[in-house]
A and B are shown apart, each in its own frame.
Chain A
Amino acid sequence: MNPRTRKALEFVLDNLVWFMLLFVLVVFSIFVPNYFQLGIFANIIEASSVLGVMSIGLALVIIAGHMDLSVESVAALSAMAVGILFCSSGIGMGVQLHPEWLMVPVSLLLALAVGGLIGAFNGYLVVRVKMSAFIITLASYIWVRGLVLVVSGGRSAQDLAPAIRWFGIQRLVGLPLTAWIAVGCFVVFSLIMAKTPFGRHLVMIGGNETATFRAGIRVNRNLIIAFVLAGAIAGLAGWLLAIRTSGATANLGVGLLFNAFAAVVIGGVSLKGGVGTLPGVYAGVLLLSAINTAINLMGLPANFTQVIHGLLVLAAVLLDAFKQTIRQRLA
């Protein structure tokens, strides 16, 4: 094999999920009525913004060789906290700040703080107390959702303050600002993972924690930061969710966790840790969103979505095994 062919093949393997996305978009554009239009593509990006942001935090922890099952509930709690304070209907307290734009940073900081605190709690128990991340974050997934129910009493907060809701309505180049926030998050965290020592250390920790520790890298500190970041990013996802639905309900975000896992796996992140990139995760998120949109337009029963998601995850795992085989042959 000549070097050019090898290089081309490696490029395809590294970006396989993007080619899958392109293939799916072309197929749907041809066969699904009304699919091929700019508005629908904008919807795909917009609908994927919450899931996308949540997947970033989840991917960070998984790349570092751990697990965070609490992100869905954390997003719901953050959304509910924002909703209770800044919504004017239902259980919303309708808190007003002057000038009005001040509500944006305050609500965002609140969401990030709620998420960051729970992330710190998870990180402390996993890293310092040496408990299983799976069990600790599973417990958080349950108790945090319970907390949503406790603080809301099962009721909704609606009619988010216009200053905050503005991000869901205002468009830039045809996309709502919420979608641009998600894209911005992917760019920033992709750069952090690829270009900073922290990002590289996370990948190393996920690959071999003991060897990384022996190399003098502060493993515990980096892992706790990863959990705090995952929580805070889930908080940001909650803030976006509250904007998107103009409030919060007790069951907001239910089912997002498994979609986030699906996106992360489809995006090429190994559940064993140490492997994966955030651009790949974003492609995975867009792929799921593209399929959901096609199902909406075709009017298929929603159960099909779950079947297709499951098959996609299976296909991603098989493709990953196939990629490894080809790479071994190339080596």
Chain B
Amino acid sequence: MKRILLAVFGILALAFATLTPAFAQSKGIVYYIVPTLLDEFQTGSVSALELFLKQTGYEMKTLNADNKTDAQQSQMNDVIALKPAAIILAAVDFNALKPSIEAARAAGIPVVEFDRQITSTLSDFTSVAGTVEIGYVAADQAEKLLKAKNGSVKGKVLQVLGDPGDPYTLDIQKGFEEKMKAFPDVKIISLPAMQWEASNAGTIVADQMLANPDIDLIFSHAAHLSVAAVASLEAAGKKPGDVMLMSSNGAPVGLDLIRKGWLNVEVEQPLYAQAAAVAMFMDKIAKKEEIKPGEYDVLGLKSTVTKEAWGPNIKIPGAAISKENVDNPAFWGNQKPPTDTVKPVE
């Protein structure tokens, strides 16, 4: 019994030791509700938002929903009770969070949508690259790659999706397939890697390379899935360039694969710019001032703020990364955060 009690107290002491008291800064605390931390983009978004919000005078706290919609709803309810300066939300499920967003705004707390656009209700600000748009950019790149290889836009594409329950991957698929409809000679085989797990993607690629040895292009919806795809191609005796590869999100591992010659294109989500845009407008968001539509320079990227039915929306174009521009420090995958300080929009 003594030993059990000692163990319990030990564990509790350890847990409390990791908690540090929070001291609010002059402009207040902003909560960022992140969908998961098992993903490099999301982990990167925490660091970037924290960095830029600090530059504009806000302290940021992060809550991780572990990809669970119900957990995210509970977190929203808890945070509403804490009355922060604002809530930044990257939703697990784009529409399931609608009541929570409405509850926060009814309590006078501004809500910012980050990376995942919610169009079913009003928010105070939305900063996205656009998941459907990522699909469009990927389709443009696929068109170029297939044309260069086959003389015209034809061939077989294996599309490795993320988890089939994740709207993020479904939106990319929607954008990609919508644009590829213009090319009836392109056959797209789409298979999901359950729970975004890399070895599932590896298995899909290994099986499909046997069933369809004439696959021209593999498009994975995340860079870490491309790593497993490459591992399977390598195990099948393939060399860089034998099969064209493309993925989206712009993670460091994707950029490494470009440098090694395996990956042709990585469609980047402009993580730094998306986060900087939130910090730039945070004063206006917190004070509930009007955000004027127009062109804004966000870390050197021309970005457009528009007034939409769901509130002010800034869309920052995602770039296609290839061998030619892979070393550009502006890409978040190169892990070189901008040195310029973000200034609040007057």
Contacts and interface: CB of A to CB of B under 8 A. Distances in A.
A149 B235 contact: no
B37 A250 contact: yes
A302 interface: yes
A52 interface: no
Interface in A50-107: 50, 89-90
Interface string B219-262: 00000100110110011000000000000000111001000100
Given A33-B211, A251-B36, A293-B207, 20 more contacts: A39-B210, A46-B235, A89-B256, A155-B40, A155-B252, A158-B253, A159-B256, A176-B235, A245-B199, A245-B202, A245-B228, A246-B227, A246-B228, A247-B227, A253-B199, A296-B208, A296-B211, A297-B208, A301-B164, A302-B194
Contact of A251 (B39, B164, B234, B256): B39
A159 B260 CA distance: 10
B210 A34 contact: yes
Contact of A249 (B38, B189, B210, B211): B38
A40 interface: yes
B70 to A, nearest CB: 17
Contacts of B39: 154, 250-251
Interface string B169-199: 0000000000000000000011111111111
B95 interface: no
A153 B335 CA distance: 14
Given A251-B39, A299-B191, A244 B199 contact: yes
A43 interface: yes
A326 interface: no
A297 B197 contact: no
B38 A46 contact: no
B197 A251 contact: yes
Interface in A162-206: 165, 168-169, 176
A3 interface: no
A74 B195 CA distance: 18
Size bracket, chain A contacts: 35 or more
Task: Give the one of A33, A37, A246 with max B CB within 10 A.
Answer: A246
Contacts of A89: 252-253, 256
A153 B211 contact: no
A170 B223 CA distance: 25
A158 B224 CA distance: 9
A15 interface: no
A323 B101 CA distance: 55
A214 to B, nearest CB: 26
Given A159-B256, A245-B231, A154 B199 contact: no
Question: Which 10 residue pairs of A and B lie closest in terms of their CB atoms, listed nearest first?
Answer: A154-B43, A251-B38, A34-B211, A246-B231, A296-B207, A250-B38, A302-B192, A39-B210, A89-B256, A154-B37
Nearest to A149: B37
Contacts of B211: 33-34, 40, 296-297
A79 B99 CA distance: 40
23 contacts: A40-B211, A43-B203, A46-B206, A47-B203, A50-B199, A89-B253, A149-B37, A155-B43, A156-B224, A156-B227, A159-B260, A168-B231, A245-B198, A245-B231, A246-B227, A249-B38, A249-B198, A249-B227, A252-B198, A292-B203, A296-B204, A299-B191, A302-B194
B157 to A, nearest CB: 13
Chain B contact-residue range equals: 35 or more
Contacts of B235: 46, 168-169, 176
A294 to B, nearest CB: 9
A216 interface: no
A305 B43 contact: no
B122 to A, nearest CB: 31
A288 to B, nearest CB: 12
A34 B211 CA distance: 5
B198 A299 contact: no
Contacts of A250: 37-39
A247 B260 CA distance: 15
Contacts of A154: 37-40, 42-43
Contact of A153 (B4, B43, B192, B207): B43
Nearest to A33: B211
B3 interface: yes
B4 A129 contact: yes
Contacts of B251: 156
B191 A302 contact: yes
B2 to A, nearest CB: 11
A305 B200 CA distance: 12
A43 B207 contact: yes
Contacts of B42: 154
Nearest to B194: A302
A299 B187 CA distance: 13
Contacts of B190: 299
A255 B194 contact: yes
Interface in A234-276: 241, 244-247, 249-255
Interface in A19-39: 33-34, 37, 39
A249 B234 CA distance: 19
B165 to A, nearest CB: 8
A254 B43 contact: no
Given A90-B256, A296-B203, A254 B164 contact: no
